[in-house]
Chains A and B, each alone.
Chain A
């Protein structure tokens, strides 16, 4: 037993290992008009602002002939990895990746709000019109992504990795608090009642660079605490990640595969707020859109880091990848919340003239009703999620499926023993939607009522788990990361 534990520890630690790396990019831009997701009603995109991609990184750690561990990470220019999507993709890949455990593949979304709807019933089908239906888009997307995954996996070869931390002011906390204690997402700030921005912003830009055996840059993974929501509009868009990729390609070569990850940022967005006027003027002076400006900042942070970490490229780091099923306490629906939701649903159900927001509204409040009724019968007490925790050299990587408020990401980072903790939200999907995970101060900003935008992102309708569940998530993640660093406890 002692010997086995010692071996286990040595594999977790920085023992001599080879890192095999593969990377590939798939274009997942639909070639037809498509309904866009992310808003309360459908927008049909008939033009392309920038192309959507899925970027694949395949990693395999080997000691001689022995495979130590594996991972395939896919960063997708999508809004959310909706329920069933990851499972469907794994099924689609079955048998195509010999030697790879498909449970070690994860999908993550950049959260662009200008990507196709991928759940057929997300909105009223009538509103999709002649556009590509979600049920058509998803298999098409699977096929494109699968080709890239297979290519990345099969093309993996011995390489090296480097990591570093830079900074870019990209995300801003979008929740505004007022003198009466209420909070509002995107609330007005130029009024006397404005008291402050509710919470923190984390402007760290975590960078992982992957190189081939000649130390040529092959792929880059970048994680920062903001969603990709700078673009807006009704065109298909990869948002600022397009500009990041464009600038990195210009600087480092077209072949570099760039994976954009969103760190916990449920309360963040890359939209100017306090300094709107000066941001607008600066963009004008630079002749950039705000989306391009965010891309410039992130790519600038990448360059600032990439040049420095090139001094510390490691070829012998070990990869450890743990996949856990975690049960989190669900947010409990109160009787008052149920009453509000039931009333809204009834109003929608009997409305004679259909509104384009009805499907979204019915879903938003309907789930509250469903959860309340289930909880009354002892059900829906927990939320099940798949958590990936990786160690790659001195870096920890941990995922969650939520729009997790930034405070929780800060907690995980602060409690992590890793030199850098690279967090990815909106990753993986289970059978149920994940939605936002607010802090206690956000929940205190207002209760659910008939206006869905009252304290939006922190009411029961927008939260499958609340602060209690979030704390369990933080604890489990911190424990899992610590488990990859600590020597195993001695056993009698």
Chain B
């Protein structure tokens, strides 16, 4: 792990303003689709997969900046079709990579999740699983970590001098899923066709930030697409599914080469999905006229946005873009559990305690009780998070572990000195929802204490730390 952050930031600043570095780029995609039925992650109830609707994959992007033979910095970024990077997965992957890439600073690797709700469970104990016929979470985690490590190694070994460009366009994909009502309450996926409906709680970020990676002959080899929305369109059911990223990848590969590596990055979208809160009839009719499913329509919008960005990106391909990568462990204050919240959680947990089918619900409430007890005993440690911030040319990339409400992502983007700022949520670990103050006031699933270990106070610390790290990578302008 990188420890001397201050030193690195000084170096970063110096290099950022310097010129003439070479960017070496490698990319690889691997299937992380299990060949047996698995428990699907993301819902309260247990779902065992019956069929593979679309393969879940992991795509690794290796970047290395060099000045002649001197390595300036490096990063290996992996996008995974999974609900979250659960605790232990990052460590497992790094452990597997360690002997295969000797000398490589493992802190330079990070994984992020697209948040498909139709991918395997990777953590034991979340559900009560059948004894047989199902690939267990630990077994799947081992399988996935091995495949991801393979992709990381492959991408690193394939790296060659290349070029990069970046562009921004728009795609109306993210829909804020929290409806607010006359009594001040809020509800995730709440009804909007009632007289008490007052509005959608918060913002939606419809920008599509795209990175394009080219070989020396200006052939596109990889692209990273940042959509501030999790991929949950196909949510539910018993199909293993990469959600909208699958048709996005298919369409881009049809048009730009079958070997194109596509990284799907979920931006700050804890309060978003691509599912509509109103206007469903019009959308349904338009899709019918186009002959598309909603999943395909979402993919069409992303691909259209990508193509729009691509046209501009082709005009400004850079071969000397600086790469800096800083990693820092930051501490965020926990959201405090109130007496009323713990009382409610105890009551609810008791209802589910004896029913194995209610394991998820039991754990959801008991987590609050455990936090309260630690808080009361003064044993609660700050929430620790591995924060990666990268500079690539005029682009900043910042990650976080949460289902981060969009407002925080907007704050980061607005305060960033970068021309474009990519925010990747659900990376390196799984920190749960991080709601805004207005969401906490309104309540509802994604804003209640059970769903949120870090609250608005911690959210602000996260924003400030992220912005500070980004700013340190840009020379100060008068």
Q: Which residues of A contact B (CB under 8 A)?
A: 164-169, 173, 189-192, 194-197, 199-201, 203-204, 273-275, 277-279, 281-282, 285-286, 297, 304-305, 308-309, 311-312, 394, 407, 410-411, 413-415, 418-420, 439-441, 475, 478
Residues of B close to A204: CB separation below 8 A: 279, 282
Q: B199, A410: Cβ atoms under 8 Å?
A: yes
Q: A274, B282: Cβ atoms under 8 Å?
A: no
Q: Determine the distance from Cα of A169 to Cα of B394 in the docked complex, in whole angstroms.
A: 23
Is the C-beta of B364 less than 8 angstroms from some C-beta in chain A?
no
Q: A197, B407: Cβ atoms under 8 Å?
A: yes
Q: B200, A407: Cβ atoms under 8 Å?
A: yes
* Interface residue from A192, A305, A410 paired with B415 (Cβ < 8 Å): A192
Q: A196-B203, A197-B203 are in contact. Are A189 and B315 (CB under 8 A)?
A: no
Q: A200, B415: Cβ atoms under 8 Å?
A: no
- What's the nearest-Cβ distance from chain A to residue B164, in Å? 15
Q: B168, A278: Cβ atoms under 8 Å?
A: yes
Is the C-beta of B476 less than 8 angstroms from some C-beta in chain A?
no
Residues of A close to B467: CB separation below 8 A: 192
Residues of A close to B279: CB separation below 8 A: 165, 204, 413-414, 420
Contact sample, A vs B, 20 pairs, CB 8 Å cutoff = A165-B279, A168-B170, A169-B172, A189-B414, A192-B464, A197-B203, A200-B176, A273-B414, A274-B207, A275-B413, A277-B418, A277-B419, A282-B312, A407-B199, A411-B197, A413-B279, A414-B197, A415-B192, A415-B197, A478-B195
Q: Which residue of chain A has the shortest Cβ distance to B169 in the bound complex?
A: A282
Q: Which residue of chain A has the shortest Cβ distance to B166 in the bound complex?
A: A278
Interface residue total, chain B, C-beta cutoff 8 A:
51
Is the C-beta of B15 less than 8 angstroms from some C-beta in chain A?
no
Q: Determine the distance from Cα of A304 to Cα of B169 in the docked complex, in whole angstroms.
A: 16
Q: Determine the distance from Cα of A418 to Cα of B169 in the docked complex, in whole angstroms.
A: 31
- What's the nearest-Cβ distance from chain A to residue B196, in Å? 10
Q: Which residue of chain B has the shortest Cβ distance to A283 in the bound complex?
A: B312
Q: Determine the distance from Cα of A428 to Cα of B285 in the docked complex, in whole angstroms.
A: 31
Is the C-beta of B198 less than 8 angstroms from some C-beta in chain A?
yes
* Interface residue from A167, A169, A410, A418 paired with B192 (Cβ < 8 Å): A410
Q: Determine the distance from Cα of A168 to Cα of B206 in the docked complex, in whole angstroms.
A: 10
Residues of A close to B124: CB separation below 8 A: none
Is the C-beta of B243 less than 8 angstroms from some C-beta in chain A?
no
Q: Determine the distance from Cα of A442 to Cα of B175 in the docked complex, in whole angstroms.
A: 21
Is the C-beta of B283 less than 8 angstroms from some C-beta in chain A?
yes
Q: A167, B286: Cβ atoms under 8 Å?
A: no
Q: A196, B410: Cβ atoms under 8 Å?
A: yes
* Interface residue from B172, B197, B312, B418 paired with A286 (Cβ < 8 Å): B312
Q: Which residue of chain B has the shortest Cβ distance to A411 in the bound complex?
A: B197
Which among A169, A273, A305, A439 has the highest number of chain B CB atoms within 10 Å? Answer: A169
Residues of A close to B199: CB separation below 8 A: 199-200, 407, 410-411, 439
Is the C-beta of B340 less than 8 angstroms from some C-beta in chain A?
no
Is the C-beta of B205 less than 8 angstroms from some C-beta in chain A?
yes
Q: A169-B170, A414-B193 are in contact. Are A194 and B414 (CB under 8 A)?
A: yes
Q: A203-B172, A309-B289 are in contact. Are A410 and B420 (CB under 8 A)?
A: no
* Interface residue from A281, A394, A410 paired with B200 (Cβ < 8 Å): A410
Q: Determine the distance from Cα of A440 to Cα of B201 in the docked complex, in whole angstroms.
A: 12
Q: Determine the distance from Cα of A285 to Cα of B308 in the docked complex, in whole angstroms.
A: 12
Q: Determine the distance from Cα of A200 to Cα of B204 in the docked complex, in whole angstroms.
A: 7
Q: Which residue of chain B has the shortest Cβ distance to A419 in the bound complex?
A: B281
Residues of A close to B419: CB separation below 8 A: 277-278, 281
Residues of B close to A410: CB separation below 8 A: 192, 199-200, 278
Is the C-beta of B167 less than 8 angstroms from some C-beta in chain A?
yes
Q: Determine the distance from Cα of A199 to Cα of B197 in the docked complex, in whole angstroms.
A: 15
Q: A165-B282, A278-B419 are in contact. Are A194 and B200 (CB under 8 A)?
A: no
Q: Determine the distance from Cα of A311 to Cα of B209 in the docked complex, in whole angstroms.
A: 33
Which among B207, B279, B312, B467 has the highest number of chain A CB atoms within 10 Å? Answer: B279
Given contacts A164-B285, A201-B206, A410-B278, 4 further A-B contacts (CB under 8 A): A189-B414, A200-B176, A282-B169, A419-B281
7 closest A-B pairs (Cβ-Cβ)? A407-B199, A196-B407, A189-B414, A414-B192, A414-B278, A169-B170, A167-B172
Is the C-beta of B216 less than 8 angstroms from some C-beta in chain A?
no
Residues of B close to A478: CB separation below 8 A: 195
Residues of B close to A273: CB separation below 8 A: 414
* Interface residue from B198, B203, B207 paired with A411 (Cβ < 8 Å): B198
Residues of A close to B420: CB separation below 8 A: 275, 277-278
- What's the nearest-Cβ distance from chain A to residue B475, in Å? 15
- What's the nearest-Cβ distance from chain A to residue B125, in Å? 36
Q: A190, B436: Cβ atoms under 8 Å?
A: no
Q: Which residue of chain A has the shortest Cβ distance to B459 in the bound complex?
A: A195
* Interface residue from A194, A282, A312, A441 paired with B167 (Cβ < 8 Å): A282
Q: A279, B193: Cβ atoms under 8 Å?
A: no
